[in-house]
Amino acid sequence: MAKLIIARHHESEWNKKGLWTGSRDCHLTEYGFKKSSEMGLMIQGIHIDQAFASMQVRSIETLSCMLEALDLCHVPTQHAAEINERDYGDYTGKNKWEMEELIGHEQWEKVRREWDCPVPHGETLKMVYARVVPFYETHILPFLKDGKNVLMVSHGNAIRALMKYLEAIPDEKVKDIEMLFGGILLYEIDTEGKVAGKEVRHIESEVHA
């Protein structure tokens, strides 16, 4: 039974400032680097055959820290824009808490959590799903069907989209899916590509984002 290990990048410079980051590139904070190494140790003892990260530096840095902590820097790695974070369009760079006051809590929650809530010049979660899932099926699933363990480091909304697919979560329940900072998902995938089990691990993290 192959393992699909999914981790969210840790605290970035914009996370620390409470800014909507989305498609914007920014580095991890010192705290983010430290916690990323701790995330690696959370999966110690699991053999990794292949790793994936998005094209965004916070994801790449998190993956590098995790592999370094495990002394697995030799693991083959692919970077892909398809698993980048959601593009928040006109909201990119805006302070989340100021935007909550501006647009109201109800609309703010819809923007952050719902399946098909539009953002001016940005992506909905449904649009993120449309790029994440085909990438998973084409590039990641073949490793899993072959019995290989895969580590994927991505972003909150890209991971939520993949969770929806893997767990067959209906559209109206998507708002309840959350991938916390410091969270690691371990799915067991059978030879037909079906989810046979799930485990959640988590390190203590204090990220106000």
Catalytic residue numbers?
9, 85
CA-angle at 107, arms to 175 and 165, nearest 5°: 20
CA 14 to chain centroid, in Å, comes to 16
Do residues 52 and 78 make contact, with C-beta atoms less than 8 angstroms apart?
yes
The answer for 22, left when phi > 0, alpha when psi is -120 to 50, beta otherwise, is left
| DSSP E strand stretches across the chain | 2-8, 50-54, 77-80, 150-154, 183-189, 195-202
Three-class secondary structure of residue 78 per DSSP: strand
Question: Rounded CA gap, 182 and 86, in Å?
Answer: 19
Cα diameter, the chain: 50
CA-angle at 53, arms to 47 and 54, nearest 5°: 165
Question: Rounded CA gap, 42 and 79, in Å?
Answer: 22
